[in-house]
C-alpha cells in the first residue's frame, strides 16, 4: 500500500493466518530458545567446568558450523517436496538426546576426565550442526513453497522475527541459571528441543492442501 505500518500489520495478519508459518514460528522459537541457552552453557562448561581456554570454545562452536555446512550441502541436493514435515520433526526430536550429552560432558552424570568431556561436547555440537542443517533446509523450502509470492517479503520478515524470538530469551535464562544450577539449564535446553519437535509435529501441516491460509 505504500504505508509502512499498514503493510506491517497486513504482513503480520497474513503470517498468523498461514498455518505453516504459524506452526514454524512456535516450533522454531522453541528450538532457538535452546540454541540461545547453548551459547551460554557451552562456554561455561568448557571454561569453568573442563578448565580449557577461550580458543577451545571457538573450536567447539566451529564443529557445529562445519557440520551444519556439510549437512546443508548434502541435504540441499535432495528433493524435499513432501518430506519437509519429517525433515523438521525427526531432527528436532533427535536434538533432545544430543543436547543431553552435555550432562556427562560436564560431569553431572558420572565423573569424567576433561579430555573425554571435551570430546563429548565437541561431538554433541557436531551432531547438533548436522541436525540443524536439515531443519534449516526443510524450514526454508516449505515456507517458501507455502507462501503466496505476493506476500513473501512481509510474511518472511514476520516469520524470521517469530522464529528467532526464543534466542535472546534462552540466552537470558541460561545466563541466570548456569551458575546457580547447571543441570537445570541443560534440562531446559533439552526440553526446548522436545517442545520444538512436538510443536512441529502438531502445528505444521504435513500436507500441501492444508498448508496455505491467510
pLDDT at residue 214, as a whole number? 44
Rounded to an integer, the average pLDDT of 55-81 is: 90
In this prediction the pTM is 0.89
pLDDT tier at 111, thresholds 50, 70, 90: low
Rounded to an integer, the average pLDDT of 112-139 is: 92
Rounded to an integer, the average pLDDT of 88-99 is: 96
Q: Which of 55-69, 145-159, 195-209 has the highest mean pLDDT?
A: 55-69
pLDDT at residue 23, as a whole number? 94
Q: Work out the percent of the chain whose per-residue pLDDT is above 90.
A: 72
Task: Inform me whether the pLDDT recorded for 131 exceeds 90.
Answer: yes
| Contacting residues for 190 by C-beta, under 8 A, at least 6 apart | 34, 96, 97, 99, 100
Between 102 and 77, the higher pLDDT residue: 102
Task: Inform me whether the pLDDT recorded for 61 exceeds 80.
Answer: yes
Q: Work out the percent of the chain whose per-residue pLDDT is above 70.
A: 96
pLDDT tier at 187, thresholds 50, 70, 90: very high
Nearest to 61 by CA among 121, 150, 6, 151: 121
pLDDT digits (tens, 9 = 90+) for 6-54: 888 998 999 999 999 999 999 999 999 999 999 999 999 999 999 999 9
State how far the Cα of 97 lies from the Cα of 194, in Å rounded to an integer: 9
pLDDT at residue 209, as a whole number? 52
Q: What angle do CA 64, 66, 70 make, to 5 degrees?
A: 115
Please provide the average confidence, as pLDDT, over all residues in the chain. 91
Amino acid at each position: 500500500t505504500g504505508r509502512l505500518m499498514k503493510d506491517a500489520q497486513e504482513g503480520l495478519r497474513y503470517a498468523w493466518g498461514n498455518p505453516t508459518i504459524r506452526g514454524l514460528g512456535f516450533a522454531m522459537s522453541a528450538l532457538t530458545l535452546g540454541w540461545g541457552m547453548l551459547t551460554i552453557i557451552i562456554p561455561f562448561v568448557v571454561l569453568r567446568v573442563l578448565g580449557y581456554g577461550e580458543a577451545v570454545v571457538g573450536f567447539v562452536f566451529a564443529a557445529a558450523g562445519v557440520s551444519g555446512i556439510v549437512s546443508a550441502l548434502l541435504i540441499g541436493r535432495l528433493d524435499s517436496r513432501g518430506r519437509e514435515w519429517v525433515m523438521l520433526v525427526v531432527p528436532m526430536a533427535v536434538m533432545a538426546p544430543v543436547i543431553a550429552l552435555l550432562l556427562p560432558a560436564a560431569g553431572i552424570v558420572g565423573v569424567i576426565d576433561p579430555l573425554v568431556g571435551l570430546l563429548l561436547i565437541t561431538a554433541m555440537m557436531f551432531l547438533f550442526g548436522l541436525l540443524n542443517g536439515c531443519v534449516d533446509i526443510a524450514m526454508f523450502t516449505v515456507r517458501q513453497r507455502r507462501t503466496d509470492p505476493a506476500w513473501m517479503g512481509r510474511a518472511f520478515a514476520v516469520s524470521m522475527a517469530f522464529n528467532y524470538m526464543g534466542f535472546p530469551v534462552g540466552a537470558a535464562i541460561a545466563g541466570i541459571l548456569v551458575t546457580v544450577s547447571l543441570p537445570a539449564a541443560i534440562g531446559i535446553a533439552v526440553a526446548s528441543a522436545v517442545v520444538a519437535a512436538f510443536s512441529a509435529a502438531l502445528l505444521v501441516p504435513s500436507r500441501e492442501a492444508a498448508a496455505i491460509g491467510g
